[in-house]
Chain A
């Protein structure tokens, strides 16, 4: 009976595990197991229906030596990382700074700038297709009516431009989120420090540069962390705007995984791409958390 008592005592001491159980079970089934699954599946040639054939690391060899679309999607991810995160942060900070300075209607402005962030990328993709459309599109008509000829561009059909047109929509969608994070950060700054600096004769520009920006370091780092993860997740917007085309010019790793797994029925290869995406995501996150000290500030600071 001693064993039973010990078990009982252990369970009482560890009753937290009962509280954790549902979360842990879901985590194991829908996160941990899938991770093992893609590592395993990436070693097979498999269409998802018939018997899979073990081919070792052949999928990886092909991916890194003979797959232009994969290379393009890596290049696009790098563009996307730098051309979304920093513009969103700079514009978001500027807006947040203005919208915490006590100008009229500032709450309304905050709602307006944040609004695109809550709208489905599926919806936004279709709207922006209409803005970019070469015939009858908003920008094309504007170019025609106003002589601002440079506005007429093959935004989504030119492989050289398409990725930047897509990135622009992302910046428009997420700048308001950066703004909101900076608003929260700015409201948390200690009033005394700022007014002390003002008394000491520091102008607005100096206060921003030497006090506000450094003190918001945790917000910058959180936004970079979320931006990298967001970049690596990008699917719906690209899928709706260009389906990764023309000729893979806007392919991202997620759209490429989908393309391989479903339209092309190549589950093994798709899993190998997914493994690469997973490794990039985890190493980028671990680097940021351990080296830069980023955290999910929403709550954990």
Chain B
């Protein structure tokens, strides 16, 4: 390595270590023995490794129930976003219809809309429909708010697809729906992967709508769990940080499995002229 590269390597190594401190701290504190009273350096130095905090969390916090709640909200919203946005993106990329561009710009406008502007009306809509404290009360808004970004990603992917293949399929008697489902979707997995990761992370981590919609403990997703147990575990960072680790694990796993597609999907979008 040349000197410049060695210096660059040293610089990013040091910075990466500092960058990781909060994440390492989350893990370390979660393994702290419960009898350790005053952890040093915010908990970065512990006197041993123990799984007791995790046991405490599973006993006292019904963490499995909250995990299921998160899944019950996240997975349907991911499925709905993929289906609804890919249908719309196909139409926007490939079909002519009434007010097409207006619909596109209206949908894109949603991307510029801060979600907190919508909490009052969504709370009231859910109340009117009896959806507060129900999974559907989060699934529907998460889907509505996730669809525009997914359309942006998928539309450009579909638009780059060679028109000749579509025409050949048409000549063979394939319907529009058939082209969407049999021709376009099977080759669009890099873009679909980006949509899946993004929607999974936003639904899993979403906070403000969950905070106002889910009032009963039984239906609260994981993202609200630190608030639910902040009183109970106030003086016990161990169990609290075990909860934080358990909340974070699924997104890290999904991201790790999908990150190859993430960069290539983003690059594909950014590069295509």
Chain A residues at the B interface, C-beta cutoff of 8 Å: 13-17, 19-20, 22-24, 26-27, 29-35, 37-38, 41, 48, 95, 98-99, 101-104, 109-113, 115-116, 118-124, 126-128, 130-131, 133, 136-139, 141-142, 145, 172, 180-181, 183-185, 187-188, 204, 218-219, 229, 232-233, 235-236, 239-240, 253-254, 257-258, 261-262, 267, 270-271, 274-275, 277-278, 281-282, 285, 296-301
Contacts and interface: CB of A to CB of B under 8 A. Distances in A.
Contacts, number: 301
B251 A118 contact: yes
Interface of B: 1, 4-5, 8-9, 11-12, 15-16, 19-23, 25-26, 29, 38-44, 83-85, 87-88, 90-92, 95-98, 100, 103, 106-125, 140-141, 143-145, 147-149, 151-157, 176, 180, 191, 201, 204-205, 207-208, 211-212, 223-224, 226-227, 237, 240-241, 244, 247-248, 251-252, 255-256, 259, 262-263, 266-267, 269-273
B270 A38 contact: no
B42 A136 contact: yes
A123 B8 contact: no
Given A14-B98, A297-B270, A37 B121 contact: yes
Contacts of B191: 299
26 contacts: A13-B97, A17-B91, A19-B88, A19-B176, A23-B107, A31-B110, A34-B117, A37-B124, A118-B252, A130-B25, A136-B40, A136-B42, A142-B41, A188-B270, A219-B270, A229-B111, A229-B112, A233-B115, A235-B207, A254-B116, A267-B120, A278-B114, A296-B111, A296-B149, A299-B156, A300-B156
Contacts of B4: 204
Query: Can you list the 8 inter-chain pairs with the closest CB atoms, starting with the nearest?
Result: A16-B97, A138-B42, A254-B116, A34-B121, A16-B95, A19-B91, A30-B144, A299-B269
B16 A127 contact: no
B116 A22 contact: no
A294 to B, nearest CB: 11
Nearest to B273: A301
Given A119-B23, A271-B120, A285-B112, A301 B9 contact: no
